[in-house]
Structure 1
């Protein structure tokens, strides 16, 4: 599953865009420098997200939407189209 696919699946499951979840995380005091464990626990408790999906959001919450070029342009299920993740909802993604 690509990084973007994880974020799109999170939106489907929670009804919230990744950007909305990042904003909610910020309201809870989560951001750069926050360890994964408290973010993962919040996502599990409030949204029933597992570790894989949670870690995709941990990256975006703590590091922003930019991902490594190593994930870009690879064929198959794990490749992303570009190095900037779309946070504003799958339906509005111009790269989909």
Structure 2
């Protein structure tokens, strides 16, 4: 008797079941799409990390070159000072001999 009283509800229940199945399909599709996007993003992040490592290594090489250039400039500056002092001393000593 109770089963017969629920028969009028059957079309509504079937409609709800179809709606839930549709939600499940959409959720499954979204999950698959998310997985694909996540995979692509992970690959791109790995590529970017590799590029950052390369740039970091290049920056280290440039920094080393700058340090070497600075040291070379200091040596050149010291040598120029020595040459200038030698020239001044030589000129001064020649002037003394001429007088």
Question: Given the two structures, how large is their TM-score scaled by the length of structure 2?
Answer: 0.13
Q: Which has the larger radius of gyration?
A: 2
Question: Given the two structures, how large is their TM-score scaled by the length of structure 1?
Answer: 0.14
